[in-house]
Amino acid sequence: MKRIFGTIVLAAVLALCASVALAEGFPNLVGTWKMDATEAFNKETTTSSFGEANYFTGFVSVFTIDKQEGPLFSGSIATPKKTVSLAGVIDPNGISLYMVDNQGIYICTLIPKAPKDTPSSSLADMGKVTPSPAYDKMIVRYLAPGEPKKIAGIASFMRSK
């Protein structure tokens, strides 16, 4: 009985240590992330043989991440028309994020802070990202199913706070 109890206590301590170590390996996302309003993100609705779809340009939104526990986080996204809550998770690779709101999903890539003597990251640099402890930009892809309209978009967000 003592051996079983000791094994359970040891397993619990190891699990706690592993979760603390894992939590420290994820970037801190808490704060405000604002969309770069100069990038194209919305267009008029178009119709194709597959149905009707919306494409975004000139759309302004702000992510606010209020809470983060290890790889899990929550917050909201505000647009000129509404604010909705969202929940997300950081991929074990430390640079990919997955978020969901009431209507769709966000697939994101964190971009590390660029040294002052190099140009800032762009959409073309997405595949070249290497993990870094500090991030100031993320590329966000948004997908939402729907009938008759579907939504697909991509934009960059900068950390503002």
Q: Cα–Cα distance between 43 and 110 in angstroms, integer?
A: 25
How many CB atoms sit inside 10 A of residue 16's CB? 10
pTM over 0.85: no
Burial of 110 (0-12, 13-18, 19+ CB in 10 A): buried
Structural domain spans, the chain: 2-159
pLDDT digits (tens, 9 = 90+) for 76-133: 999 888 899 999 999 999 999 999 998 899 999 999 886 664 455 555 554 443 434 4
Q: Which CATH code fits 2-159?
A: 2.40.160
